[in-house]
Amino acid sequence: MEQTYIGIDVAKDSFVVATRVEGKVTTSLHSNDRKGISSLLKGLPGSSWCIMEATGVYSLQLAIALYEKGIKVSVVNPLQIKRFAQTKLKRTKTDKVDAALIAEYGERMQPKLYEPPAPFMRKLQQQRMSLKLLVKSKRSFLNQLHALAQLDKADKAAVRACKTVLASIEKQIVELERQMQQTAEEQCQELFSLLQTIPGISTKSAIELIVVSGGFRNFTSARQFSAFIGISPCINESGTSIRGYRGISRIGDKNIRATLYMCSMAARVHNKACRELYERMVKAGKAKKVALVAVMNKLIKQVFGIVNSGEVYSAECQAQ
- pLDDT tens, 11-38? 999 999 999 887 789 999 999 999 999 9
pLDDT of residue 91: 86
- The residue type at 111: P
Asked whether the predicted pLDDT for residue 153 surpasses 60, the reply is yes
pLDDT of residue 236: 76
pLDDT tier for residue 65 given thresholds of 50, 70 and 90: very high
- DSSP assignment of 220-234: SSHHHHHHHHT-SEE
Asked whether the predicted pLDDT for residue 1 surpasses 70, the reply is no
Asked whether the predicted pLDDT for residue 163 surpasses 70, the reply is yes
Asked whether the predicted pLDDT for residue 260 surpasses 70, the reply is yes
Q: Which helix (H) or strand (E) holds 292?
A: helix 288-309
Asked whether the predicted pLDDT for residue 151 surpasses 60, the reply is yes
pLDDT tier for residue 50 given thresholds of 50, 70 and 90: very high
For residues 257 and 271, give the distance between their C-alpha atoms in angstroms, rounded to a whole number: 19
Mean pLDDT over 48-66 rounds to 94
The percent of the chain in helix, strand and coil, each rounded to the nearest 5, is 60, 15, 25
For residues 296 and 314, give the distance between their C-alpha atoms in angstroms, rounded to a whole number: 18
- Which of 17-26, 54-63, 207-216, 285-294 comes out lowest in average pLDDT? 17-26
pLDDT of residue 187: 95
> Which residues lie closer than 8 Å to 41 by C-beta, 6 or more apart?
65, 66, 69, 71
Asked whether the predicted pLDDT for residue 195 surpasses 80, the reply is yes
Contact yes or no for 305/196 (Cβ under 8 A): no
Mean pLDDT of the chain: 92
pLDDT of residue 316: 67
- The residue type at 199: P
Mean pLDDT over 211-237 rounds to 91
For residues 307 and 192, give the distance between their C-alpha atoms in angstroms, rounded to a whole number: 10
pLDDT tier for residue 318 given thresholds of 50, 70 and 90: low
Q: Give CA separation, 305 vs 128, 196, 219, 311, in Å.
A: 25, 13, 13, 9
Mean pLDDT over 212-231 rounds to 94
pLDDT of residue 244: 65
For residues 105 and 61, give the distance between their C-alpha atoms in angstroms, rounded to a whole number: 22
- Which of 17-26, 42-51, 188-197 comes out lowest in average pLDDT? 17-26
Nearest to 302 by CA among 316, 318, 290, 291: 318
- The residue type at 216: F
Contact yes or no for 72/48 (Cβ under 8 A): yes
Condensed to tens digits (0 to 9), the pLDDT of residues 92-123 reads 899 999 999 999 999 999 999 999 999 999 99
Phi/psi for 124 (5° steps) reads: -65, -40
Q: What percent of the chain has pLDDT over 90?
A: 84
Q: With H, G, I as helix, E, B as strand and everything else as coil, classify residue 51.
A: strand
Condensed to tens digits (0 to 9), the pLDDT of residues 120-144 reads 999 999 999 999 999 999 999 999 9
